[in-house]
Amino acid sequence: MKSIKIAGLCLVSMCVMSLAVASTASAVPIWEGCLETSTTTKYTSNSCVTAGAGKWGWAEIANTDNVRGLGLTLRLKDTATGVAVVCPDTAEPVETGTVGPGRFDRIETAEVIKPANCIRTEGLCPSLEKVEGINLPWQTSLIEENGKIFDVIEATEAGKEPGWRVRCSGVTDECKSSGGRNEKTLMTNELTKGVQLVKANFQNAAKGNCTLAESKGQKETAELTGDAAILLANAKFEASGVGLKVK
């Protein structure tokens, strides 16, 4: 989909702890990109910020395009073990995937490139060795509830719920969604550094299951918070970037 130019998106991402998807969704939102279009509304550049003489306008993304995550912060916690970690930008948390057509998007990869730069905020964790998504890819789709737009993260294969793996000093803990209860993120359109993009905020409305807790007979001990901004693959986060929004 070379003709489609996007600047931001939010797949979201990321994790994947449980959350019931309310059945009260009232509409079907879609992804829109700042595209070369024949619509009457014109913008001076492919950021679709300044109206005027130009060939760009907002239009539904009818195909798919590759995206990657930037400006991502993860906060993962297992209340059973008492360990909580935060992975800021310096830890290089990244995600890649696609957006479109319509309301759909997909997360292909999700990992922290430099887990040693993650910060332990609670509990004992002398050395963080790995922070990565499990059971990828994750299928995601937009829904509307009570006037707000959310992106729901689901398994692409039955029995393989989305989640995260954290290895600390040789001990691995895997936390994933509890069957049928999916994580979702609140999606908002924001103008940042001259680019109209989408930001996601993880809701953590329900908790996921972790292997270390389950070995002790405990369930639903996983918590996820954080936020992210996802951009077109290889695009620069700057004023010359192209625009994306949810509607």
Domain ranges across the chain: 31-246
Distance CA 37, CA 242 (A): 14
Q: Cα(237)–Cα(121) distance, rounded to whole angstroms?
A: 29
Q: Whole-model pTM? A: 0.82
Per-residue pLDDT of the chain (247 residues; tens, 9 = 90+): 333 333 333 333 333 333 333 333 446 899 998 888 877 778 988 888 888 888 889 989 888 877 777 777 889 999 999 999 999 888 998 888 889 999 999 999 999 999 999 998 999 888 899 999 999 999 999 999 999 999 999 998 888 999 999 999 999 999 998 877 788 899 999 888 777 888 888 888 668 999 999 998 999 999 988 888 766 655 555 445 678 889 9
For 154, residues 6+ apart whose C-beta sits below 8 A from its C-beta are: 138, 139, 140, 141, 162, 182
